[in-house]
Amino acid sequence: MARAWHLKSRPDGMPTTGNFELKTFDLPKLEEGSLKVTNRWLSVDPYMRGRMNDVKSYVPPFALDAPMDGGAIGEVIESKAEGFAKGDLVLHMGGWRDEAVVTAKTALKLPDLGGADPQQFLGILGVTGATAYFGLLDVAGAKEGDTVFVSAAAGAVGSAVVQIAKAKGMKVIGSAGGKAKSDYVRSLGADAVVDYRAGPIVRGLAQAVKEVASEGIDVYFDNVGGDHLDAAFALARLNARFAICGMIEGYNKAEPSSFRFIMRIIAMRIRMQGFIVFDYQSRMEEFYAAMGAMLKSGEVKAQETVADGLEAMPDAFLGLFKGSNTGKMLVRL
């Protein structure tokens, strides 16, 4: 018997621990082309909030009273698939549980990138890092000399964006909540940091960003939406590019945010593009080579917030919406 977190009920607004239930379940029989894995690391991601709603999106919603899933690093304990052996570490989507049976075609044997830690393939070397890399350099077309504004700059994706941008010769303005996180973003090399839990509450976020980016911004990498996106509208320079990755501020709201400065899209010819990292699946080898090199050189560092034990998964997930994580949120089994 395996254990997995099940979605007990769909949340109305902010989820609670009452929406989850840890239950045992029978693993399916191991068929040809499949792997049985014991999970070592589980990924905790904001996009999972959308899957708790019964709405159509780019990934299917979680089913009620059924095991939830998500990114995970597991160790193969039994294989009926060519190319996979007992003891291999694999990246797969059978998360939120301690054991899983997955098809080999949906599992990736971890590549050898010069001693990278396994959990980094859920973070800086995984979907998180790829989101930052392709969102900044491809979607936004950011280039040397650009001024880049990054919301949630202490988070998993945001902290990667800050470091990639600095490695590529850009000026970086980050936002973060609280002194500790603001100091962390500065330690990553950001040229300036706006603490949205301090002054901006009084004088407005757009004004706070303007004080450190008086000539405006060329690129906005959005992880938050709401007031941060509006501040970016206010400060966008001509032909600014916005990469819209996430809008965590609105994930638990019933009503969408309103924007005072949205009409500047026209005058400044702002280009906005939403994106999903899976659009770039065919270019992951390019990403591994580039990010692996930056990690090895020290231009980019991995930061993780780790909770221990399968029982910790819901609290770790809820912590994303309370600002509990610096860098990538993970659960270690």
The three state secondary structure string of 4-73 is EEEECCCCCCCCCHHHEEEEEECCCCCCCCEEEEEEEEEECCHHHHHHHCCCCCCCCCCCECCECCECEE
CATH of residue 97's domain is 3.90.180.10
User: Same structural domain for residues 252 and 214?
Assistant: yes
CA distance 214 to 206: 11
Angle at 179 between CA 175 and CA 183, to 5 degrees: 75
Residue 296 lies in a domain: no
How far apart, in Å, are the Cα atoms of 170 and each of 106, 142, 146, 295?
36, 8, 5, 18
What was the pLDDT predicted at 115? 79
314-316-319-323 Cα dihedral, nearest 10 degrees: -160
Nearest to 280 by CA among 290, 271, 272: 290
- The pTM of the full predicted model, rounded to 2 decimals, is 0.90
Q: Tell me, yes or no, whether 139 and 255 share the same domain.
A: yes
- pLDDT, position 1: 86
| Total residues found in the chain within this entry | 333
On whether both 6 and 100 belong to a single domain, the answer is yes
- Give a yes or no: residue 287 inside a domain: no
Give the neighbor-by-neighbor strand order of the sheet with 171-176.
192-195, 171-176, 147-150, 217-222, 236-244, 271-274
Half-sphere exposure at residue 290, Cβ-oriented, CA atoms within 13 angstroms: 17
Within a domain: residue 118?
Answer: no
Instruction: Name, in order, each residue with C-beta under 8 angstroms of 321's C-beta and a sequence gap of 6 or more.
Output: 14, 46, 49, 248, 251, 252
Q: Do 101 and 131 share a domain, yes or no?
A: no
CA angle 20/24/27 to nearest 5° reads 120
Give the pLDDT score at 203: 56
Return the pLDDT at 199: 63
Q: What is the CATH number of the domain that holds 245?
A: 3.40.50.720
Supply the pLDDT for residue 201.
53
Coil/strand/helix, residue 199: coil
pLDDT at residue 82, rounded to an integer: 95
For residue 268, the enclosing domain spans 127-278
Q: What's the distance, Cα to Cα, between the start and end of the chain in Å?
A: 16
Per-residue tens of pLDDT for the chain, all 333 residues: 899 999 999 999 999 999 999 999 999 999 999 999 999 999 999 999 999 999 888 889 999 999 999 999 999 999 999 999 999 999 999 999 999 999 999 999 998 887 799 999 999 999 999 999 999 999 999 999 999 999 999 999 999 999 999 999 999 999 999 999 999 999 999 999 999 888 655 458 999 999 999 999 999 999 999 999 999 999 999 999 999 999 988 778 777 788 999 999 999 999 999 999 989 999 999 999 999 999 999 999 999 999 999 999 999 999 999 999 999 999 999
The string of DSSP codes covering 125-178 is TSHHHHHHHHIIIIIS---TT-EEEESSTTBHHHHHHHHHHHHTT-EEEEEESS
The rounded distance, in Å, linking the Cα atoms of 251 and 247 is: 7
The answer as to whether 213 is a domain residue is yes
Q: Are residues 94 and 135 in the same domain?
A: no
Task: Return the bridge partners of 300, or none.
Answer: none
Same domain, yes or no: 211 and 328: no
Domain-located, residue 95 = yes
The CA-atom distances, in angstroms, between 160 and each of 96, 115, 149, 151, 174 are 24, 19, 13, 12, 11
Cβ-Cβ contacts under 8 Å for 183 (sequence gap 6 or more): none
As for how many domains the chain has, the answer is 2
Q: Output the six-digit token pair for 226.
A: 């709401």
